[in-house]
């Protein structure tokens, strides 16, 4: 059973806090499916509508804009994964780089982001918070991670970072070398979290078909698993890899 903090009894409420629609599925989808099947109540809090994302080839953006399309994809995927509550925090997607306006995550006052996350956490009352570890280089992921860790610390709620294990990233890099030797990621050195630093790893292979189905509900986005050989995709999708960050006294 994913992860049961010492002394908290059965885990009932898990809140995933992310920056963009698709982070909950591309990142934490197996965890959400696992939690649903295990009887936990889950919530997804998403800080933006992913307005700055790229659009998958062949996808037409409706008049309402990419943000509204991605919000609807988020809600559909979350419902498919049994998520009980979806909330958006109304910041704007900062994009990977460049100038960020005051309404974006990168342009907003960090205290304002923390307040918004705290309000969402207060409203749901989770036993555990989960967020992406931000190691993929997207600034919004790191900003949401920092806010979530701070709020978990303030409220005494354990926080788990969803990680990309180094062993899986090595498989991915070996594959990328064969298909795209110019990929900038290959020049960044060792990628991912060293496997020995992971605190919580659990198998999720039984949820693989549902995970793929949820991934495909984000039709406007190309998932990072698209086109990967099965053994490489499985390294990411058939287990969840987490690092527990705080508060230490509550973590198993
Ligand atoms: Zn994202």
Task: Write the CATH number for 172.
Answer: 3.40.50.10320
More confident residue, 247 or 160: 160
What is the CA(2)–ligand 1 centre distance, in A? 23
Query: What tens digit of pLDDT does each residue of 35-79 get?
Result: 998 889 999 999 999 999 999 999 999 999 999 999 999 999 999
Cα–Cα distances (Å) from 121 to 42, 125, 144, in that order, read 12, 6, 13
The answer, yes or no, to whether residue 251 has pLDDT greater than 50, is no
SS3 state at 88: strand
For residue 122, is it within any domain? yes
When divided into structural domains, the chain yields a total of 1
Q: Is the pLDDT of residue 179 over 90?
A: no
Q: Is residue 5 part of a domain?
A: no
**6 domain residue, yes or no:** no
Q: Ligand 1 centre and the CA of 137: distance in Å?
A: 10
- Does residue 2 fall inside a structural domain? no
Q: What is the mean pLDDT of residues 213-220?
A: 98
How far does residue 27's CA lie from ligand 1's centre (Å)?
A: 9
- From start to end of the chain, where are the E strands? 13-18, 41-46, 85-88, 128-132, 159-162, 200-203, 239-246
CA–CA distance, 176 with 172 (Å, rounded to integer): 6
215's CB contacts (< 8 A; 6+ apart) are: 25, 26, 29, 77, 223, 225
Inter-CA distances, 161 with 11, 60, 94, 133, 231, Å: 17, 34, 21, 5, 24
Q: Tell how far the Cα of 21 is from the centroid of ligand 1, in angstroms.
A: 7
Residue 113 tokens read as 């982001």
pLDDT reading at 133 higher than 50? yes
pLDDT at 4 over 70: no
Neighbours of ion ligand 1 (CB under 5 A): 19-20, 23
Single out the residue of 82, 101, 99, 81 nearest to residue 91, CA to CA: 101
Percentage with pLDDT > 90 across the chain: 79
| pLDDT more than 70, % of the chain | 91
What DSSP line would sit under 11-27, residue for residue?
--EEEEEESSTTIIIII
Give the pLDDT band of residue 6 (cuts 50, 70, 90).
Answer: very low
Q: What is the mean pLDDT of the chain?
A: 91
Its sign, for the CA torsion 228, 35, 16, 41, is: positive
Average pLDDT rounded to a whole number, residues 180-208: 86
Residues in the chain: 252
Give pLDDT tens digits for 7-17: 444 568 999 99
CA of 66 to the centre of ligand 1 (A): 14
pTM of the predicted structure, to 2 decimals: 0.92
How far, in Å, is the centroid of ligand 1 from the Cα of 44? 13
pLDDT for 85 equals 97
| Domain span including residue 157 | 13-250
Would 211 be classed as within a structural domain? yes
Mean pLDDT of 100-107: 92
pLDDT at 120 over 50: yes
Among 3-17, 147-161, 173-187, the range of highest mean pLDDT: 147-161
Q: Is 177 exposed, middle or buried (0-12, 13-18, 19+ CB in 10 A)?
A: exposed
| Position 3 in a domain | no
Kindly give the distance from the C-alpha atom of residue 3 to the centroid of ligand 1, in angstroms, as a whole number: 23
> What is the 9 CA–ligand 1 centroid distance (Å)?
32
Strands laid side by side in the 85-88 sheet: 85-88, 41-46, 13-18, 128-132, 159-162, 239-246, 200-203
Within a domain: residue 24? yes
Q: Which H or E run includes 71?
A: helix 66-80
Residue 87 lies in a domain: yes
Cα 40 from Cα 32, distance rounded (Å):
9
List the Cα angle 211/17/1 in 5-degree steps: 55
| Least-confidence region, from 6-15, 114-123, 212-221 | 6-15
* Residue range 183-192: mean pLDDT, rounded: 76
**Residue 137: pLDDT band with limits 50, 70, 90:** confident
Give 196 Cα–ligand 1 centroid separation in angstroms: 25
């Amino acid at each position: 059973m994913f992860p049961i903090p010492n002394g908290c009894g059965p885990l009932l409420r898990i809140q995933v806090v992310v920056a963009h629609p698709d982070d909950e599925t591309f990142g934490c989808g197996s965890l959400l499916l696992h939690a649903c099947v295990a009887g936990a109540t889950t919530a997804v809090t998403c800080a933006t509508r992913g307005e700055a994302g790229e659009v998958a080839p062949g996808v037409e953006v409706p008049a309402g804009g990419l943000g509204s399309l991605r919000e609807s994809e988020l809600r559909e995927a979350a419902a498919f994964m049994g998520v009980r509550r979806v909330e958006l925090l109304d910041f704007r997607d900062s994009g990977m780089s460049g100038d960020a306006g005051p309404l974006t995550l990168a342009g907003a006052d960090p205290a304002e982001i923390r307040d918004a996350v705290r309000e969402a956490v207060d409203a749901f009352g989770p036993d555990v918070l989960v967020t992406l570890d931000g190691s993929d280089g997207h600034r919004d992921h790191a900003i949401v991670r920092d806010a979530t860790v701070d709020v978990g610390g303030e409220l005494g709620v354990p926080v788990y970072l969803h990680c990309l294990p180094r062993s899986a990233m090595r498989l991915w890099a070996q594959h990328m070398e064969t298909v795209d030797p110019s990929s900038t990621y290959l020049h960044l050195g060792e990628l991912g979290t060293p496997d020995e630093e992971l605190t919580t790893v659990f198998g999720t292979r039984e949820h693989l078909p549902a995970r793929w189905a949820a991934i495909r509900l984000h039709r406007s986005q190309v998932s990072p698993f698209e086109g990967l050989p099965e053994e490489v995709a499985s390294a990411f999708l058939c287990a969840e890899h987490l690092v527990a960050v705080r508060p230490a006294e509550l973590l198993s």
